[in-house]
Amino acid sequence: NDGSVTASPEDAYDSEYLCPVSIDGQTLALDFDTGSADLWVFSTSLPSSEQKGHTLFDPSKSTNWKALSGYKWNITYGDGSGASGTVGTDVVTVGGTSVSGQAVEIATKVSSAFVSDTANDGLLGLAFSSINTVTPKAQHTFFDTAKSSLSSPVFTADLKHRQLPGTYDFGTIDSSKYTGTITYIDVDTANGFWEFTGSGYAVGSGSFVSSSIDAIADTGTTLIYVPDAVVTAYYKQVSGASYDSSQGGYTFPCSATLPNLTLGIGSYHAVVPGQYINYSPASGSKCFGGVQSDSGIGFSIYGDVFLKSQFVIFDGSSTPRLGFAAK
Ligand SMILES: CN(C)c1ccc(C(=O)NN)cc1
């Protein structure tokens, strides 16, 4: 029951990656999110003003739909966006991986950020089921539901930079997708995230700074959010860079040459190409950085700008771990 599904960038800046998911034959484009654990979809139960532009799941058209009476969900993400609604189970298929009895959370309310993100028909959470928001009983993620039917209890992310489709694979580690060896690091599941301790950083050709960085691998977050020491050291090497409160982060002249950012994972040095860190135009001739401060979050977030530079293994075995390799 192993599977592979394309992950297509939603826009020119890879702000998110969308994957086709079939729910009893109804195919929606979902944002696979290793930073949350709810599978929720835009639905016919939303107010019509919130439905516009999205593909909607209609449970009344599903022969395998089973409503969970009295079950509800309500989620808020790190950027303040959120959604809520009701719950049922259905057959969910991702690439070649099909599971029955999967909890599907029907949105009856979504925040404006989701309404306006018309390419996004919902999220498929891939964090640990311990942070699923369904009450009165938390539900399993798609990966947890599928795990026992996979050749190996793993999924991998091979996200690409700019305009290229990548893939999420379930059940296998495709050795044609990476070079060199895989470095594994232990995961602390206490907060429900793929959370690990990074070993430090380097900016451009500068020397590596050993420091413990508490971070999560989050495919649902676009940028890299790291401690101020890292951010300061990075933008010190970018002429014309400065913190722009009106933009809510560091910007720099779009003509600037950006240094690579190396992030340590154990003894492995993961290199994020400088070009990936010129994230998008901000205003005028200024561009917005793909590396920003994690202050106020409580941990660092290694989001898509980092993850797309690597081949990443999410190992859901009895001792969960993360694997990283160059590609
Ligand atoms: C508004 N949208 C599409 C979001 C998608 C994902 C997230 C998130 O924090 N995932 N870990 C937030 C917002």
Mean pLDDT of 171-189: 98
pLDDT at residue 212 is higher than 90: yes
C-alpha 207 – ligand 1 centre gap (Å): 34
Among 14, 116, 141, 221, which residue has the most ligand 1 atoms within 8 Å of its CB, making it the best to mutate? 221
**Closest approach atom of ligand 1 to CA 77:** 9
C-alpha 83 – ligand 1 centre gap (Å): 11
Percent residues over pLDDT 70 in the chain: 100
Among 28, 39, 42, 79, which residue has the most ligand 1 atoms within 8 Å of its CB, making it the best to mutate? 79
pLDDT (tens digit per residue) in 83-132: 999 999 999 999 999 999 999 999 999 999 999 999 999 999 999 999 99
35 pocket-lining for ligand 1 (C-beta < 6 Å)? yes
C-alpha 302 – ligand 1 centre gap (Å): 14
**Closest approach atom of ligand 1 to CA 117:** 3
pLDDT (tens digit per residue) in 256-314: 999 999 999 999 999 999 999 999 999 999 999 999 999 999 999 999 999 999 999 99
Helices (H), the chain: 48-51, 112-116, 142-147, 228-235, 274-277, 304-307
Distance CA 215, CA 197 (A): 6
Distance CA 170, CA 151 (A): 9
pLDDT (tens digit per residue) in 63-75: 999 999 999 999 9
What is the number of other CB atoms lying within 10 angstroms of the CB of residue 198? 21
Distance CA 65, CA 88 (A): 7
pLDDT (tens digit per residue) in 8-23: 999 999 999 999 999 9
Q: From atom 3 of ligand 1, which residue's Cα is the shortest distance away?
A: 114
C-alpha 311 – ligand 1 centre gap (Å): 21
15 pocket-lining for ligand 1 (C-beta < 6 Å)? no
Residue 19 has, within 13 A of its CA and on its CB side, a CA count of: 27
Residues designated catalytic: 33
Q: From atom 12 of ligand 1, which residue's Cα is the shortest distance away?
A: 77
Distance CA 159, CA 223 (A): 13
pLDDT at residue 163 is higher than 90: no
Mean pLDDT of 39-61: 98
